[in-house]
A and B are shown apart, each in its own frame.
Chain A
Amino acid sequence: MEPVIEIEGLCKDFRVGFWRRRTRILHPLTLTVYRGEIFGYLGPNGAGKTTTIKLLTGLILPTAGSARLLGQDLTRIFAKQQIGFLPENPYFYDYLTGREFLDLCGRLFALATSERRERITRLLHLTQLTGAADRQLRRYSKGMLQRLGLAQALINDPSLVILDEPMSGLDPLGRKSMRDVILQLKAEGRTIFFSSHILPDVEVLCDRVGILVNGHLRDVGRLEEILKTQTESIEVTLRRVSPALLTSLRDIAQLPPLEQPDGVLVRLTDEERLDQALRAAVAAGARVVSVVPQRVTLEEHFLREVQGGTP
């Protein structure tokens, strides 16, 4: 697999406070993202997601370490020719119209006039802004600005798209269309690197995720792999449970069964205990209503990682 983003030991210190004390915001980060994947960069607020993205886009300069984008060193602006970037909560020149702003962006990529015109028309259509194209950006809503941000990120037909919190501030409809666009970009063979803390979207979209906590990369991998290593549990619901069965179920499960209106819920931690519990239930004449394996959601995993504190 061809690497598109190669980050090696990249770290960043900021000077904060009155005494300008050096504080490490991003600890040495090593990460590789491959061509054609959707990589989700997750972490709570203040974890260093935006710092990483700002380093990758040249908005801030690294304290140490290096990164290569599309095989080019970070410091070479040539690499940027192939990169599209949507900043967090984008705010653009409010005195320009949407069309003028996209034209400015096209000029910065040195696109010819005819090419700019053609792409702007196509992108305005893609982001459903054709009707608002000649309106000044001060009259755009937050969702429209986010869509225009996406359009400007795609003006250069990039092979790597970096999106900083693309879902934040969007209504459910907006999030759905942002998801659709991201999937379409992947289908066109582009690599997408995006940060988010909206986990359901990440679960639907990402091939791989990285979890960043307090400036440390805690976990990287395929979503299934990360979640599989977590203990799963299986929930069994039974009806017609006798008091004697209840006692033996408690012994098998090592957890007290819950009495619910539609039956008794038993939570079992592995499949062996499940077998035992089912056998006991059938033998005692109970009815098995449901057997539901409980996977750890990304959200639970995420919370565990974050609450685990710094390593």
Chain B
Amino acid sequence: MKIAAIALNTFREAVRDRILYTILVFAMLLIGASVVLATLSIGQEGKIVKDLGLASGSLFGTFIAIFLGIGLVSKEIERRTLYAIVAKPIYRFQFLLGKYIGLTLTLLLTVGVMALLVAGLAWAVDGHWTPGLLLAAALDFLALMIVTAVAILFSTFSTPTLSAMFTLAVFVIGRLSGDLRLFAEQFAGPGLRQVVEGMYLILPDLSRFQIGSQVVHGLPVAPAGVLAAATYGLAYVLVLLLVAIGIFERRDFK
């Protein structure tokens, strides 16, 4: 109940924020532009629409997760809006979870709208339905949940600017970490290989959530892989939130 109240408030904050609509408008424009681009290709219209559509959904979803996520806690401390809330009978972990869930709901809504738009456009161009697109968007949403959890974790002890940089770094490394690990295994010496392996274990592997190219090219998607990615994602989010709660519980609001 109390977590829900905070979540609703966070959702309200996001949907009354102009930045969300700015990002959404750009995303829609890019998705729309994919149709124009598709007409330039011959016989590949559907693939272009799907590929560009999924990519823009993922990109702009990440923007929302980072830009709204980094302010979730630090902005409340900076503006002192948190004071009146923490003095009420609510545990700090309830507050933090509420904030996280609120932003996750916002992401669900925006990513959902974009995914439906992409699927609709692909249907219009292809003339048939591609259910894999929604699965790809759902997995991408899990990656966004991790990015949001990273952002909220940094937000509990750092300024919005630093949080944005850290989160962006984690996101980029996370997207590439699968490839980096592969490179290290093949080309690096034992020392560097261990460092890369260590980083791979600590930082999230966001490349696991990318099934867009399989869907676009009509290749089969292994259900076991999807299930493993989902389990990995949820476990990762849980750990990040626990660490964030641990920091937040001990924090002084000066």
The chain A residues found within 8 Å of chain B, CB to CB, are 14, 54, 57-61, 77-78, 80-81, 83, 85-87, 89-93, 95-96, 100, 104-105, 107-110, 149, 152, 156
- A110 CA / B1 CA spacing, docked (Å): 7
Which of chain A's residues has its CB closest to B77's CB?
A59
Q: Which of B1, B80, B86, B89 contacts A81 (CB 8 A)?
A: B89
A58-B86, A87-B80 known; 5 new pairs, CB 8 Å cut-off, are A78-B89, A90-B83, A104-B8, A105-B84, A107-B1
Which of chain B's residues has its CB closest to A78's CB?
B89
Within the complex, the shortest CB–CB distance from B189 to chain A, in Å, comes to 39
- A250 CA / B154 CA spacing, docked (Å): 73
Within the complex, the shortest CB–CB distance from B23 to chain A, in Å, comes to 17
**A61 & B250 in contact (Cβ 8 Å cutoff):** yes
Q: Which of A87, A95, A107 contacts B84 (CB 8 A)?
A: A87
Q: Provide the B83-98 mask, 1 if CB < 8 A to any CB of A, else 0.
A: 1111111110000000
Contact of B2 with A by CB under 8 A: yes
How would you classify the secondary structure of chain B's contact residues: helix, strand, loop or mixed?
A: loop
Which of chain A's residues has its CB closest to B90's CB?
A108
Contact of B235 with A by CB under 8 A: no
Which of chain A's residues has its CB closest to B252's CB?
A60
The chain B residues found within 8 Å of chain A, CB to CB, are 1-2, 4-5, 8-9, 12-13, 16-17, 79-81, 83-91, 250, 252-254
Q: Which of A59, A77, A92, A95 contacts B252 (CB 8 A)?
A: A59
- A104 CA / B95 CA spacing, docked (Å): 12
**A107 & B2 in contact (Cβ 8 Å cutoff):** yes
- A239 CA / B49 CA spacing, docked (Å): 103
**A95 & B83 in contact (Cβ 8 Å cutoff):** no
- A96 CA / B88 CA spacing, docked (Å): 18
Which of chain B's residues has its CB closest to A106's CB?
B5
Within the complex, the shortest CB–CB distance from A104 to chain B, in Å, comes to 5
A110 partner residues in chain B, CB cutoff 8 A: 1-2, 89
Q: Which of A61, A80, A90, A95 contacts B12 (CB 8 A)?
A: A95
- A92 CA / B83 CA spacing, docked (Å): 9
B253 partner residues in chain A, CB cutoff 8 A: 54, 59-60
- A85 CA / B13 CA spacing, docked (Å): 23
Which of chain B's residues has its CB closest to A164's CB?
B83
**B83 & A108 in contact (Cβ 8 Å cutoff):** no
**B16 & A108 in contact (Cβ 8 Å cutoff):** no
Given contacts A61-B252, A109-B89, contact A152 B13 (CB under 8 A): no
**B80 & A108 in contact (Cβ 8 Å cutoff):** no
A91 partner residues in chain B, CB cutoff 8 A: 79-81
A83 partner residues in chain B, CB cutoff 8 A: 87
**A77 & B90 in contact (Cβ 8 Å cutoff):** yes
- A152 CA / B16 CA spacing, docked (Å): 22
Within the complex, the shortest CB–CB distance from B231 to chain A, in Å, comes to 33
13 contacts between A and B (CB under 8 A): A14-B254, A54-B253, A57-B86, A59-B252, A60-B254, A87-B83, A87-B87, A90-B84, A91-B81, A96-B9, A96-B12, A104-B5, A108-B85
- A95 CA / B17 CA spacing, docked (Å): 8
**B16 & A109 in contact (Cβ 8 Å cutoff):** no
Q: Which of A87, A92, A108, A152 contacts B89 (CB 8 A)?
A: A108
**A77 & B2 in contact (Cβ 8 Å cutoff):** no
Given contacts A14-B254, A59-B83, A108-B2, contact A93 B89 (CB under 8 A): no
- A83 CA / B5 CA spacing, docked (Å): 19
**B88 & A80 in contact (Cβ 8 Å cutoff):** yes
**A108 & B5 in contact (Cβ 8 Å cutoff):** yes
- A89 CA / B183 CA spacing, docked (Å): 56
- A93 CA / B11 CA spacing, docked (Å): 13
